[in-house]
Structure 1
Amino acid sequence: MDRKRFRGRDFLDLVDYSREEIHYLLDTACELKRLDMMGIRDEKPLKGKIVALLFEKPSLRTRVSFEVAVRHLGGESFYLGSQEVGLGQREAVKDVAQVLDRMVDGLVIRTFAHENLLEIARFASIPVINGLSDLYHPCQVLGDLLTIQEKKGKLRGLKICFLGDGNNVCHSWINAASILGLELVVSTPERYRISSQIWEEAQERGKKNGARIIYEVDPQKAIEGAEVVYTDVWASMGKEAEKEERKVFLQPYQVNSHLLSKASPDFIVMHCMPAKRGEEITDEVMDGPHSVVVDEAENRLHAQKALLTLILS
């Protein structure tokens, strides 16, 4: 594949990329990880490049993985928190976009409203990367795909089960499945189902790509024979006021040893973290032999190195 097709592009969600392009990103990530494990970081594709990290939400994995990725690749990065910018409050989103466009080579945004992300991408000519919005979390899912590929040797032909809240990670997972032709079962309470628009668009896309995307309200049925079991916090950032109410509806979706007894014998458990241990996942499972959550967190670094290499070098 011609790497030039990636250059200068935004990464707002996986739907902006083809199946072939996503696989090329994953292949590039695998190669960069292999070299990194050998201690080889000779190529500096981001030498002379500066990447700004504009974060309205706190972060561990997203911030650290992007800052380390940029440095590994020979570039420089700096962090802008919500207090420095006041996106849409202290300054208009459009103004922030146009100023940063003149000063940096790339921009990673972690924000609440997806509309802010779209507006920045509209007014900035530099590549804009979605580090998380209320609608999507594509960088997380890119790292997840890399992890499954490593652990299972493939992506297609596996039953992947997402349990819990129909949140931004779930949205990006549905889009990924629809593009790559995966089997994905989403199991949430009716109260917390995903966006109907995203679901319908993914179903149409999935038909063309051989995907099988199913909604099953009963977690006991959803997890039957699953080779990949995925969960996330029940109250994402911005939903903290609903925490106690959500616990009532989501308790049956807790990933514990009883529920996992219905999964495939060789299942892996994934969680994008941070985890609320004892809520959506138990300590026994989180720290157990089937858990790949730490490998999954590490792969954020390698997946994002591939992304930065291809769109900024």
Structure 2
Amino acid sequence: MNLIQITDLSANDIASIWELAERQDMHIQGRVAWSFEGNGIRTRTSFIQAFQELGLRFVELPNLLKTAERTADLAAYLDDFYDIYVIRERNHERLAEFASNSYRPVVNALSSQGHPCEVLADAYYVNQAIAPIQQARICLWGPPTNVMRSWHELAVVMGFQVTQLCEAAFHEAKPSVNYASTIESSFDIVITDGWPESYANADWSLTTGHLEQMGMPHLLPTPPFSIGREIAFDPVSYAGFTGYRQKNLLLPVQKAILFYLLNHKKSSSKLS
């Protein structure tokens, strides 16, 4: 089992991961191949801490998938050395190809098309602190990003709807997403993400006025947030800001993901 996109999991898998996130006693032996493109300060911090707390040995392999070598050859050479891969790689297609060629579980720590671990941690917070995930009124604010796509996938797997408020040009036909260009209802939580570099439309910077129209929901700005772009004000000043400590949940959820995938893979006949 891999976690390249959230649709690699079932609703039962996600429920099991969230249950494991409650545990304090998880330990498992194994060797992690760790490759991390870019900064990703929070994700890097929490994954390294997760490796250490679980008792996993890890080796950093910088730019693992940047080589011109075929992914089938990379996997064939490396699989005997590692039990799981955690890779942050912008090229989503190459990451997915590597995962399909490896006999070991591969975790997407961020790609151009998804940020599954981040969204599983944020959804865990919603489920625990705001409302059961199938009942929570969730608004995604702004144009499509990798974070938004992972929320779309989660909604499909878990059987709920999200509303995405963005320009009409970005609206798509998706079973899990209600697209809108105007605020027509209230929400429990609004989630933003950093805009693509090519995007700059001040009309879509989230304001306190927008939040008032939505009933003063919780606000979860996916870091690093940019004041004056996706958010027009300092979110720390807003009473509904979910707070810096909300991101502490990355650690227990990432630990649970690693533990779950390693146990699942070890029981697989593929490796027997």
Give the TM-score, by structure 2 length: 0.89
Aligned partner of 2:66 among 83, 87, 100: 87
Counterpart Cα distance in 2 of 1:97 and 1:191: 40
Q: Deviations over 1:231-284 (max 9, x none)?
A: 00112xxxx3x2xxx213xx222222111001234x211122111122212443
What CA distance in whole angstroms lies between the structure 2 residues aligned with 1:149 and 1:139? 15
Contact 1:13 1:138 in 2 (8 A): yes
2:27 is matched with which residue?
44
Counterpart in the other structure of 2:179: 215
| 1:227 pairs with 2:180 | no
How many equivalent residue pairs? 263
Counting only pairs closer than 5 Å after superposition, residues 122-201 of structure 1 correspond to structure 2 as 122-193=100-171, 196=172, 199-200=173-174
Map of 2:210 onto structure 1 = 259
Tell me whether 1:14 sits opposite 2:20 in the alignment.
no
Measure the CA separation in 2 of the matches of 1:163 and 1:299.
22
More helix by share: 1
The Cα shift of 1:71 comes to: 0.7
Aligned mate of 1:111, from 65, 70, 89: 89
Identity of aligned residues (%): 26
Q: Distance in 1 between matches of 2:193 and 2:50?
A: 24
Q: Deviations over 1:168-217 (max 9, x none)?
A: 11111011112212231012223445xx5xx54xx1xx5xxxxxx30112
Contact 2:119 2:150 in 1 (8 A): yes
Q: Which stretches in structure 1 are left out of the alignment for 5+ residues? A: 1-8, 36-40, 207-212
Q: CA deviation at 1:148?
A: 0.5
Structure 2 counterpart of 1:233, one-letter code: G
Amino acid at match of 1:176: L
Kindly provide the amino acid, as one letter, of the partner of residue 18 in structure 1.
S
Q: Tell me whether 1:284 sits opposite 2:248 in the alignment.
A: no
Match of 2:16 in 1: 24
> 1:267-304 CA distances to partner (integer Å, 9 max, x unpaired)?
21112211112221244324432111523321111111
Shift in CA distance, 12/309, structure 1 to aligned 2, threshold 3 Å:
same
Cα offset, 1:88, TM superposition: 3.7
**Alpha carbon RMSD of aligned pairs, Å?**
2.0
The whole-number CA distance in structure 2 between the counterparts of 1:59 and 1:76 is 21
SS at structure 1 position matched to 2:162: strand
Output the amino acid matched with 1:76. Answer: R
Letter of the 2:247 counterpart: A
Residues in 1 aligned to 2:225 and 2:137: alpha-carbon distance in whole angstroms = 23
1:51/1:304 Cα in 2 relative to 1: closer, same or farther (>3 Å)? same
Which one is further off, 183-192 or 298-307?
183-192
**Which of residues 186, 200, 216 in structure 2 aligns to 1:247?**
200
Q: Distance in 2 between matches of 1:287 and 1:79?
A: 38
- Assess if the C-alpha contact under 8 Å between 2:65 and 2:94 holds in 1: no
> 1:308 is aligned with what amino acid?
L
Rounded to whole Å, the distance in 1 between the matches of 2:224 and 2:73 is: 32
Q: Please report how far the alpha carbon of residue 153 of structure 1 lies from its aligned counterpart in structure 2 after TM superposition.
A: 3.9
TM-score, length-scaled by structure 1: 0.78
Unaligned segments of structure 2, at least 5 residues = 264-272
Which has the larger displacement, 64-73 or 291-300?
291-300
Distance 1:183 1:115 in 2: 27
Partners of 1:139 and 1:173 lie apart in 2 by: 11
- Check the 8 A contact 1:255/1:285 in 2, yes or no: no
1:120 is matched with 98
Query: CA separation in 1, counterparts of 2:16 and 2:138?
Result: 22
